[in-house]
Structure 1
């Protein structure tokens, strides 16, 4: 039996929640219950894990009428409107570790420098935590995630899973700040194969 690596988005319930939030920001617990079929307490628990990991942010609703304001949840995008303090600290830590590695082992440095290198530092650390073994080609600007560790266990949901992971990769790169962004995945007939293409703005 192939075991899916544990991470904050290894649970398909959390993937579904994050997918809904990537599609539309400012959702309530009730919205997410209706979209997933999960009980409110289960949704709250999953949301807390996603917030703790830096993938989701929340805010109180601004009401102009009487009543208790609802909590609104959104996917962290890395932009000013949905930046997570947890994600900010994670990308800063990844940049520090990447710079240290490049100083200690100069031969490990690729051709990308500065902000672009820090974007890769952040996204590679995030992918490793999600159970991937990424191989980066800095000349071709690709990240090979093959074989996908989730392909077999989540084969019925690969489309959603891939969209969520691509969205997370882009949010991490945006949070890190720099010229690179995710362009998409190379088409393939093999669901275990995954090569992500990046572009420089």
Structure 2
């Protein structure tokens, strides 16, 4: 039996246990469950432990009705089954589709991204001013955590290649909305850490295996006056 087969079998056994518990009018012990399912009590104990850990089953001791140890019984925890199928991609499609129909959808998506970028990035101490290299590194760390697999562009230091999109199917369908959201996310992150650079553009699918992010300075170098009275760049 492969690992996937075993996982499927475990899931089927646990679902069967839940169904028996839900159909029962009274709490059930291990022996009763084993008899109804036709399996060994140790198998029932193993799967019950997992269901209790997952928060799907409650375990308690019954009040003793005579001599002997109190009986351990189990009941299904009230609430929806958390082991069912998820449809988050459908939800994302619905929300992106609705956003795409609004006026200036790209700008709205970019604003939303900026808000979340500032929230998601690791903060810096208030007395610390990161340089461009550190800011790029912090941005890359955030994008790595989010699954974008960033890497410096070998041809230009001010560019980052995003080699993976965790929302690829959605990005292909909603490029004009989702990609501005990602750009705004990077802008918000860099703004939050007071970086001297920002993300000025995101070119989706610029290469067969990557999107390209362009980074630019947010301000010109400060000017100073040297002892001769001639203005010059700060050193």
The structure with the larger Rg is 2
Structure number with the bigger relative contact order (C-alpha 8 A, sep ≥ 6) is 1
TM-score (norm 1): 0.45
